[in-house]
Amino acid sequence: MICAVSPTPAGASTVFREGFYLTYPHNNGFCQDGRGLVLGRLDGASASLWKTSLDANEETRVCRFDVAGEAEKLLWFDVAQNANRLVTVRDNGIWIYDLDRPGGGDCIYRAESPAQLLSLASITSDGRQVVATLRFPDRYAALSVEVETGKSRILFEQPWYANHFHFSPYDEAWIGFCHEGPCEQVGDRVWGWNAIHAPEGRCLFDQNFGNPARELCVGHERWCFHAPTALVVAYGVSPGGPRGTYEIFADGKSPRLVSRGDRHLHVNASRSGRWAVIDTSGPHDLPGRSWENANGISDILLLDAVSGGQLFLARTRLDSHPSHPHPVFSPDERFIFFNEATVPDKGNRVRVVENPWFAE
C-alpha cells in the first residue's frame, strides 16, 4: 500500500469567497446543475446562507436567522442533489428552501418541549424526505419528516447521544449516524440504520476496545456515492493501528484500510469513489500524531482510494466551527473546496484547488 506524501503542494489554491464557510462534510452544498454552491456566512448576531455561482460572480441570499442565543452560532445545511431544495435547522424547527425560487422558506416541523432538534439535518436526493436528530432528556431519536406533508415519525431511538444522521447517497434506505462522545471512551462510534437489515441500528466498525494492540478511535464517517460503503477516520490518538482512513461496509464485511496517516481528521469522498480527500490535525510533514505540534495548521491531502497514495494539495489554518477545513469535491471531481480560518480577525474564507489527478 502506497502511503508516501508529496512534500510540496500539487497546485496553487485560490480564495473562492471571503467571509463564508462550507457545510458539514457529510452534507451536500452543491446545487442540482453543479454550477452553484451554497455557503454559510456569519454577521455578528446573525447567520445566513447564500447560493453562489462557481465563478463567484453571482450570489443570492437564501435565508438569514438570528443566532445570538444559540450555543453554536451558525447554520448547517444540506442540499438535495437532484431537487435544489435545502434543509436547515433553527429555532427548534426544520426549514425547507427552494433554491430555484429565492424568498421565504417553510417550517415543515417544529419540535415541542422537552424535545430539541440538533443542527445537523439531511435531505434525500429528490428533496422529499428529511432526517434529523431529536434529543429528549433521556434519549436521542432519528426523526423522519416528509417535506410535502410535514408528516413525521421516529425511525428508532437510542439511550445515548446519537448524531450525524445522513442518508447514504448510493442507497438512501441506509442512514449513517454516530455514537457521539470522546473517541477514546466510546468504542462503538460508527453506525448504520436500515429498516430491514438494521432496524435498531448496527455498529459498523469494531474498534476492539480492550485490545490495545488493535484499538482504534474512529469517527467523522461519510457515506459514499458509488457503493453501500462509508469512509471513516481512525484518529492519531488511537493506541493501536494502523491509523488513517478506512472504508466500511453496510453488509458487515471487515473494514478496509484505504490510506495510513497519524493526522487524518475529516474525510470526504469523490462521487465516482476513485478518490478521497482529508484534512489533518497538524502539518502532515512534521513528526507527531493527532494534535502534536499542530500549531493551528491543517493540510489538505488527496487520497487514491485504490493504491492508498497521498498527495499534498494545500496548507490551511483551522479554528472552531465553522473554520474546520472540511474539504469537499465538486460534483465533477475537478476541484476541491475547503475552509480556512483567517487571522487575526478569527473569520473564515473558502478556498479552492484543482484536482491534479483529474485529467490523468
**Dihedral sign computed on CA atoms, order 225, 179, 25, 36:** positive
Task: Per-residue pLDDT tens, the chain, 360 aa: give them.
Answer: 334 565 556 667 799 999 999 999 999 999 998 889 999 999 989 999 999 998 878 899 999 999 988 878 899 999 999 999 999 999 999 999 999 887 789 999 999 999 999 999 999 999 999 999 999 999 999 999 999 999 999 999 999 999 999 999 999 999 999 999 999 999 999 999 999 999 999 999 989 888 877 899 999 999 999 999 999 999 999 999 999 999 999 998 999 999 999 999 999 999 999 999 999 999 999 999 999 999 999 999 999 999 999 999 999 999 999 999 999 999 999 999 999 999 878 889 999 999 999 976
**Which of the 8 DSSP states describes residue 30?**
B
Q: How far apart are CA 177 and CA 162, in angstroms?
A: 7
Q: Are 27 and 78 in contact (CB under 8 A)?
A: yes
343 burial via Cβ count (<10 Å: 0-12, 13-18, 19+): exposed
Sheet with 198-203: list strands edge to edge. 162-167, 175-179, 190-194, 198-203
pTM reported for the whole predicted model = 0.95
- Over the Cα atoms of the chain, what is R_g? 19
104 burial via Cβ count (<10 Å: 0-12, 13-18, 19+): exposed
60: amino acid identity, one letter: T
320: amino acid identity, one letter: S
Q: Which three cell numbers stand for residue 255?
A: 473494514
77 burial via Cβ count (<10 Å: 0-12, 13-18, 19+): buried
Q: Which residues have a Cβ under 8 Å from the Cβ of 312 and sit 6 or more positions away?
A: 5, 6, 7, 8, 9, 10, 284, 285, 299, 300, 301
Q: How far apart are CA 162 and CA 1, in angstroms?
A: 34
Residue with cell 428552501: 97
What domains does the chain contain, in order, with CATH numbers? 1-28+214-360 (2.130.10.10), 30-168 (2.130.10.10)
**Dihedral sign computed on CA atoms, order 287, 288, 293, 296:** positive
